[in-house]
Amino acid sequence: MDISRARDRRLVVSVFAALALALLTKGYAYATPRPATTSYVIHDVGRPHHASSTLYGFNNTGQMYGTAYPNRNGNTLCEVWTGSAFLALSGTGAKSCYPFAISNANPSTGAYDVSGYVFTPFEPQQVAFLATVKTAGTQFRTFTNHDDSELAGGVNSHGVAVGYAYDRHFQSATPPFAFDGTKFAPLQPGCKTFGPLCMSNVLQDYNTPGSTCPFGGCGLNDNNVVLGLDNYSSNLMVATVDSPTSSTDLPIQWGPAYPAGINDANQVAYGYQQPSSNAIAAFIYAVGASQPVALGTISGSDCVEYFPISLNNLGDVLGYNAACQTSSPTYWLYDHTSGTMSDLMAAVPHNHYSRVTPLGINDNAEILVELSARNGEHWGTLDPSGSPLRNRIVHGVAIPRPHIK
């Protein structure tokens, strides 16, 4: 399979996801409301000081990331919610910036990383970046060999990040690259061609608009395990950063699969088109297991397509369904403790927003949400009722952003 098909599919699936998410979040007209196992409260942190913004992901410690646009030069900014304020990430002279993942904060220092790509006046193409946000300031690093590069596959809590970069020595002109904390180099330096167990590209979250990562590394976990595509076998595969002999294929074919990423338990959540029908079922597979676990469906729903969009490190999965007859499409939540799927939107409290769009789930069982308000898109979370930190509905306001020198 040509690697270009994988990149083209990323665009096609992202466009499909954007359309599907827009359709199912326009309103909540449920024919038969279903009971939810958990109720939530809405925590609204406000929005960046720009005309528009898009929320992408969050971590376990309250930080969020996305984009805001335009700035006074007409560029797109990489924006983070630090837990108390909005902050624009930018390197010296940087133009537009596009983030793809955020790590959990270091429990000792509070520092966390954001990865993606940025356009600068010094390079003709996009270049990979890794921004480390600290209390004392932000370190913004770019990685380039004067051609295309990105760190869009994910970043973990060790400061390791994955993506791709141009390299003329490989049959794939843009093989997977990794930054391991000291160097930015090919993930599998011995794979010059599309041979067995040679990863052609890192698989990000194919079920979210733009293939951005709502939680965790998506294509990379804290074990430094990378989820990707074996172009030779057309199966999903995993490889470990700085361990060339660690690669192994997974019993999941790329063609019918829609992966949402890999968590720290080495579990992969994905949708899979059934060979006997057009139905797409949701699964979670633990690397090394004999078979995947089916996540089921929402009781009473006649929707036949179930797409995971986020999984946490406990094995809980957030997703949405589509292709319904009489039921309304909705967002669903799979609970790893009960092994059941429920209608998430039935648990959202009454609110004044025109739309509440779930995006991801973290290890605290908080749901990342974009909140459509009269003055624009707000960033926030759905927090389980009874949480000692956020047992209330909070209507946030925009907070001035500090500038990075």
Task: Report yes or no on 389 lying in a domain.
Answer: no
On the 0-12 / 13-18 / 19+ scale of CB atoms within 10 A, 118 is buried
Give the span between the Cα atoms of 292 and 282, in whole angstroms. 10
Lowest mean pLDDT among 9-18, 206-215, 394-403: 394-403
Work out the average pLDDT over 21-43: 53
User: Which of the given ranges, 84-98, 123-137, 239-253, has the highest pLDDT on average?
Assistant: 239-253
* Sheet of strand 176-179, all strands in order from the earlier edge strand to the far edge: 149-155, 161-165, 176-179, 184-186
Task: Report yes or no on 367 lying in a domain.
Answer: yes
Residue 205 has what pLDDT? 81
User: Which secondary-structure segment (H or E) carries 318?
Assistant: strand 317-322
Cβ-based neighbour number of residue 289 at 10 Å: 13
Work out the average pLDDT over 378-393: 68
Return the exposure string of 361-396: e unless at least 16 CB atoms fall within 10 Å of the residue's CB, then b: bbbbbbbbbbbebeeebbbbbbbbeebeebeebebe
Q: Which amino acid is at 246?
A: S
pTM: 0.87
Task: Report yes or no on 374 lying in a domain.
Answer: yes
The band of 311, judged by pLDDT with boundaries at 50, 70 and 90, is very high
The DSSP code for 394 is: B
Task: Report yes or no on 306 lying in a domain.
Answer: yes
Give the span between the Cα atoms of 124 and 81, in whole angstroms. 30
Got the DSSP string for 267-306?
EEEEEEE-TTSS-EEEEEEETT-SS-EE----TT----EE
Work out the average pLDDT over 59-86: 91
31 pLDDT exceeds 70? no
Lowest mean pLDDT among 88-92, 311-315, 360-364: 88-92
The band of 9, judged by pLDDT with boundaries at 50, 70 and 90, is very low
Backbone phi and psi for residue 22, each to the nearest 5 degrees, phi listed first? -65, -40
Give the span between the Cα atoms of 209 and 18, in whole angstroms. 5
Task: Report yes or no on 102 lying in a domain.
Answer: yes
Task: Report yes or no on 400 lying in a domain.
Answer: no
Task: Report yes or no on 96 lying in a domain.
Answer: yes
Give the span between the Cα atoms of 156 and 177, in whole angstroms. 15
Total domains in the fold of the chain: 1
Helix (H, G, I), strand (E, B) or coil at 16: helix
Give strand ranges (E) for 156-242: 161-165, 176-179, 184-186, 199-202, 225-230, 235-240
Give the span between the Cα atoms of 378 and 29, in whole angstroms. 23
Give the span between the Cα atoms of 268 and 235, in whole angstroms. 13
Give strand ranges (E) for 76-224: 77-81, 86-89, 97-102, 112-118, 127-134, 137-143, 149-155, 161-165, 176-179, 184-186, 199-202
Backbone phi and psi for residue 12, each to the nearest 5 degrees, phi listed first? -60, -50
* Domain span holding position 141: 3-384
The band of 391, judged by pLDDT with boundaries at 50, 70 and 90, is very low
Work out the average pLDDT over 154-168: 91
The band of 95, judged by pLDDT with boundaries at 50, 70 and 90, is confident
Q: Taken in order 49, 87, 64, 91, is the CA torsion positive or negative?
A: positive
Residue 13 has what pLDDT? 44
Task: Report yes or no on 396 lying in a domain.
Answer: no
What CATH number does the domain containing 237 carry? 2.130.10.150
Residue 279 has what pLDDT? 94
Query: How far, CA to CA in Å, does 180 sit from each of 17, 161, 166, 175, 183?
Result: 31, 7, 18, 16, 6
Got the DSSP string for 339-392?
TEEEEGGGGSPP-S-SEEEEEEE-TT--EEEEEEETTEEEEEEEEETT-SS--S
Work out the average pLDDT over 172-178: 84
Helix (H, G, I), strand (E, B) or coil at 184: strand
Residue 261 has what pLDDT? 95
